[in-house]
Amino acid sequence: MDVNALGLIAGHATIYTPHSTSSLDYDEHAYLFDPATGLKTDLTPDGTGYARAFRLNDLGVVIGNYAGPSNYFAFRREADGTMNYFTHPTATVQPAVLNNAGLVAGIHTTYTVSNRIVVPWIASNTTSMTPIPLPPQGSPNTCAFTDLNQHGLLVGSAWKMATPTETTAVRWYANGSGNWIAEDLNEVVDAGDYILARVLAVNDAGHLMVQAYLDTDAKPPRTLLLTPHVLPPPTVVSLPPASLTPTSAVLRAQVNACDSTTAAMFHWGLAPPYSATNPAAGNAITGTVPTLVTCLLTNLTPHTTYHFRAHAQNSQGATLGQDVAFTTPYDYATWAAEKFGVTSTNETIAGPWANPDSDEWNNASEFALGLEPQTAESGVLQPREELGRLTLTLTHPMDRAGVTLAFTAATNVAGPWQSGSGATALVNLTRQGNWETLTVRTDFPGSPPQQFLRLELQSAQP
Closest CA to 181 of 217, 215, 153: 153
Q: Are residues 13 and 100 in the same domain?
A: yes
pTM greater than the 0.75 cutoff: yes
CATH classification of the domain holding 385:
2.60.40
Tens digit of each residue's pLDDT (9 = 90 or more) over 208-222: 999 999 988 888 999
Enumerate long-range contacts of 187-190, CB under 8 Å, 24 or more apart. 187/135, 187/137, 189/226
Q: How far is CA 19 from CA 16, 25, 26, 28, 305, in A?
A: 10, 6, 8, 14, 50
Q: Are residues 348 and 417 in the same domain?
A: no
Mean pLDDT, residues 108-123 taken together:
92
Closest CA to 293 of 250, 234, 231: 250
Query: Final residue of a domain: which of 191, 226, 261?
Result: 226
Tens digit of each residue's pLDDT (9 = 90 or more) over 232-287: 999 999 999 999 999 999 999 999 999 999 999 999 999 999 999 999 999 999 99
Query: Final residue of a domain: which of 226, 247, 271?
Result: 226
- Residue 420 and residue 426: Cα distance in Å, rounded? 9
Q: How far is CA 176 from CA 24, 180, 181, 310, in A?
A: 51, 9, 11, 25
Answer whether 294's CB lies under 8 Å from 250's CB.
yes
Q: Are residues 371 and 341 in the same domain?
A: yes
Q: Are residues 181 and 202 in the same domain?
A: yes
Q: Are residues 56 and 190 in the same domain?
A: yes
Q: Are residues 168 and 266 in the same domain?
A: no
Q: Are residues 60 and 185 in the same domain?
A: yes
Domain that holds residue 281: 235-327
Tens digit of each residue's pLDDT (9 = 90 or more) over 356-390: 999 989 999 999 999 999 999 888 888 899 888 99
- Residue 193 and residue 181: Cα distance in Å, rounded? 26
Instruction: Count structural domains, the chain.
Output: 4
175: confidence class by pLDDT, cuts 50, 70, 90? very high
- Specify the DSSP class assigned to residue 375: S
Q: Are residues 258 and 319 in the same domain?
A: yes
Q: Are residues 117 and 211 in the same domain?
A: yes
Q: Are residues 322 and 411 in the same domain?
A: no
Q: Are residues 156 and 255 in the same domain?
A: no
Closest CA to 74 of 119, 34, 105: 105
Query: Final residue of a domain: which of 226, 246, 274?
Result: 226
Residues in contact with 182: Cβ distance below 8 Å, sequence separation at least 6, in sequence order = 132, 133, 134, 135, 136, 158, 170, 171, 172
